[in-house]
Amino acid sequence: MTAAAGRLAVVGLGPGAESLVTPEAAAALADAGALYGYGPYLDRVPARPGQRKIASDNREERSRAEAALTAAAAGGRVALVSGGDPGVFAMAAAVCEAVEAGPAAFRQVDIVVVPGITAMLAVAARVGAPLGHDFCAINLSDNLKPWELVEARLDAAAGAGFVIALYNPVSRARPWQLGAAFERLRRLLPADTPVVFGRAVSRADERIEIVRLAEAGAGRADMATLVVVGSAETRLVERPGLTPLVYTPRSAGGRTR
Amino acid sequence: MTAAAGRLAVVGLGPGAESLVTPEAAAALADAGALYGYGPYLDRVPARPGQRKIASDNREERSRAEAALTAAAAGGRVALVSGGDPGVFAMAAAVCEAVEAGPAAFRQVDIVVVPGITAMLAVAARVGAPLGHDFCAINLSDNLKPWELVEARLDAAAGAGFVIALYNPVSRARPWQLGAAFERLRRLLPADTPVVFGRAVSRADERIEIVRLAEAGAGRADMATLVVVGSAETRLVERPGLTPLVYTPRSAGGRTR
């Protein structure tokens, strides 16, 4: 006997504030019989009668994805919650990995990914438009890739003029990587390149700092921080009595606007 | 006599569906006395009594930003609407440029950027998690940068293993650039690298196509299309009776999960 396959919504909660959760995400959460996720993300979702919450640890992405797929394959309506956007260094890739490696029943699940405001967009919005021209996003964690590959990507991105958003810049187990990344980028970029540290944007403990690359150090970041390193074209505009704007012009390579 | 400076909200409407407009964006639109924007974006905003809409052409980003800043500097509560996210190849950079080059009064305006779901996140969500690992976003238009710079960035990104999101892949005035980009990427990436064409995602005329890089041609894209070109690690998972999943694993460079 085969149960009818259910539905798995992989839902992006955005950076934190409820005002940045899309109506589509809110509807997908309300529709689910069971919610899976990292505890602090589940805590953001209002409790509903009859709806179960199954919390797991931050590092258990793959097993969490498998548990959610198993429940959906058995006919459940399941939501797997993700901070930011599920497709950017978050749960959607873990779900796809689990589908590819898992039982045939996982391939029958109706999987819907609901996008969210990813951290780099929220941080960029706070300071102006640092991602206003070509940019890249690099996961600075070397848990799942060799550090030499991170270095090669930093070099390629800075060398080609991309603005760089650094996700997962530091953790207790990875204290030195961000400092090493700044050292490396200082060889390729001007000392006064703007660097933005955006922590917990839209939450109560939000903190934004703008420094020059010459002064950028790993001590300004923690696990809740997203770092944006400008390109040589990124500009800082001072405003009397207001925070400066940081932006990357739409034109590049000497073209006039 | 100096009028008190007003407020300019630069608001991201997301990819199209109202269900992907955040509550913060909806509130910023409701709060404005005047809305500025490209006509088709303004048409997405419900009409409100007493609220003016000032439409302008797609190419007039800088003058539209100046008009909105002028109205806000005179004390108005102004919203400037943007498709997707205002900070990604959209209005926020044009506003910052106008502030830097404009009169001192522009620097007194309270500028708030409200992030939105940018096209690459919406397209990625439809097919799985193609942006699941390091990726970049390149504006393929050579209106504001030399084509040689686009080529150098394509080479750097593909060579270093970034997934590539191509914004503004074609227009009537730029018919050949996307084909040239595919040609270039075919030299650096495997023939079976997945390529996703995502058109008008979340709108009535949405269309998603997944092809191999060997088959990717510019004819599949128009002005409403966002193209995602995978890396050598991007995978396609077939599912009987369902559309395939496209994803980039969280691990890279030979690290096991």
Q: Please report, for the domain that includes residue B105, its CATH number.
A: 3.40.1010.10
Asked if B21 and B14 count as a contact pair (C-beta separation under 8 A), the reply is yes
Rounded to an integer, the average pLDDT of A156-162 is: 98
Contacts of A240 in chain B (CB under 8 A): 107-108
DSSP assigned state of A84: B
Looking at the structure, do residues B76 and B189 belong to the same domain, yes or no? no
Nearest to A132 among B14, B24, B87 (CB): B87
Q: Using CA atoms, how far apart are residues B257 and B250, in angstroms rounded to an integer?
A: 8
Q: Per-residue pLDDT averaged across B135-162, rounded?
A: 97
Token reading at B225: 């299309």
Last residue of a domain, which of B68, B99, B117?
A: B117
Q: Higher model confidence: residue A50 or residue A59?
A: A50
Buried b (16+ CB within 10 A) or exposed e, B235-251: bbbebeeeeebbbbbbb
Provide the mean pLDDT of chain A. Answer: 95
CB contact under 8 A, A250 and B144: yes
What's the confidence (pLDDT) of residue A241? 93
Residues of A in contact with B131 (CB under 8 A): 87-88, 137
Which of A117, A152, A183 is the last residue in one of the domains? A117
Summarize the confidence of residues B3-30 as an average pLDDT. 94
Cβ contact, residue pair B237, A128, below 8 Å: no
Over residues B111-117, the mean pLDDT reads 98
B161 interaction partners in chain A (CB closer than 8 Å):
149, 153
Which residue is associated with the tokens 């420094």?
A211
Would you state the pLDDT for residue B4? 67
Tell me, rounded to whole angstroms, the distance of Cα B45 from its chain centroid: 18
Is B255 a domain residue?
no
User: Are A25 and A127 contained in the same domain?
Assistant: no
pLDDT reported for residue B100: 98
Is the pLDDT at A95 greater than 80? The verdict is yes
Does some domain include residue B34? yes
Query: Over the range A3-25, which residues count as b (16 or more CB within 10 Å of their CB) and which as e?
Result: eebbbbbbbbbbbbbeebbbebb
Q: Which domain holds residue B24?
A: 7-117
- Alpha-carbon distance A177 to A148, whole Å? 11
Return the biggest CA–CA distance within chain A: 71
**pLDDT band, residue A256 (cuts 50/70/90):** low
Give pLDDT, residue A59.
77
Residue B168: both structure tokens together: 């503004």
Q: What is the mean pLDDT of residues B52-66?
A: 92
Cα separation, B99 vs B107, whole angstroms:
6
Nearest CA in chain B to A26: B19
Put simply, the answer to whether B97 touches A24 (Cβ < 8 Å) is no
pLDDT at A1 > cutoff 70: no
Asked if residue B227 belongs to a domain, the reply is yes
Across chain A, the runs of DSSP E, i.e. the strands, are: 7-12, 34-38, 52-56, 77-82, 110-114, 128-129, 135-139, 163-167, 194-199, 207-212, 225-229, 235-239, 242-247
Domain presence at residue B1 = no
pLDDT for position B57: 85
Cβ contact B6:B112 at 8 Å: no
CATH of the domain at B183: 3.30.950.10
Residues 77-96 of A with CB under 8 A from B: 85-89, 92-96
In-domain check, residue A255: no
Q: Which of A100, A122, A138 is closest, CB to CB, to B134?
A: A138
Q: Which residue has the tokens 């603005």?
A: A163
A44: burial class by Cβ within 10 Å (0-12, 13-18, 19+)?
A: middle
Question: Shortest CA distance to B186 belongs to which of B214, B228, B149?
Answer: B214
Phi and psi torsions of A184, nearest 5°: -65, -45
Identify the domain boundary among B70, B92, B117: B117
Number of domains comprising chain A: 2
Q: Residue A62: which of B146, B161, B257 has the nearest Cβ?
A: B257
A19 in any annotated domain: yes
pLDDT at residue B59 in the model: 76
Residues A186 and A84 in one domain: no
Report the half-sphere exposure of B33 (CA within 13 A, side-chain side): 10
Q: Is B111 on the interface with A (CB under 8 A)?
A: yes
Are A178 and A208 contained in the same domain? yes
Residue A4 has pLDDT above 70, yes or no: no
Do B105 and B186 lie in a common domain? no
Q: Evaluate whether B248 touches B162 at the Cβ level (below 8 Å).
A: no
- CB-based contact (8 Å) between B249 and chain A? yes
Residues in chain B within 8 Å Cβ distance of A160: 152-153, 155-157
Rounded mean pLDDT of A185-200?
Answer: 98
Q: Are B113 and A124 within 8 A, CB to CB?
A: yes
Q: How far is B248 from chain A (nearest CA, A)?
A: 7
A14 and A58, same structural domain? yes
pLDDT at residue B257 is higher than 60: no
Report the residue of B113, B114, B163, B233 to disrupt the A interface, i.e. the one with the largest count of A CBs within 10 Å.
B113
For chain B, how big is the Rg over CA atoms in Å? 20
Q: Compute the average pLDDT of residues B60-72.
A: 96
Query: How large a percentage of chain A has pLDDT more than 90?
Result: 94
Residue B212 clears pLDDT 60, i.e. is over it? yes
Whether the pLDDT of residue B2 is over 60: the answer is: no
Q: Nearest CB to A152: which of B113, B133, B160?
A: B160
Clarify whether residues B110 and B146 are in a common domain. Answer: no
How many C-beta atoms lie closer than 10 Å to residue A224's C-beta?
17
Q: Is A27 on the interface with B (CB under 8 A)?
A: yes
Confirm or reject contact between B118 and chain A (CB < 8 A): yes
Average pLDDT, chain B: 95
Mean pLDDT of A200-212: 97
B161 & B139 share domain: yes
Same domain as A240, residue A138: yes
Question: First-to-last CA distance in chain B?
Answer: 65
CB contact under 8 A, A88 and B117: no
The reply to whether A100 and A218 lie within a common domain is: no
- Domain assignment present for residue A257? The answer is no
Coil vs helix vs strand at A10: strand
> Is the model's pLDDT at A203 over the cut of 50?
yes
A208 domain residue, yes or no: yes
User: Are both A164 and A111 inside the same structural domain?
Assistant: no
- Name the minimum distance, in Å, from the CA of B103 to any CA of chain A: 12
The shortest CB-CB distance from A252 to any of B95, B129, B149 is to B149
**Nearest CA-CA partner of A73 in B248, B242, B246:** B242
Q: Using H for helix, E for strand and C for coil, what is the string for B126-188?
A: HHEECCCCCEEEEECCCCCCCHHHHHHHHHHHHHCCCEEEEECCCECCECCHHHHHHHHHHCC
- Our CA dihedral for B109, A202, A124, A211, rounded to 10 degrees, sits at 90
> Percent of chain B at pLDDT above 90?
94
For residues A230-251, give the mean pLDDT: 97
**A142 and A53, same structural domain?**
no
Cβ proximity of B161 and A149 under 8 Å: yes
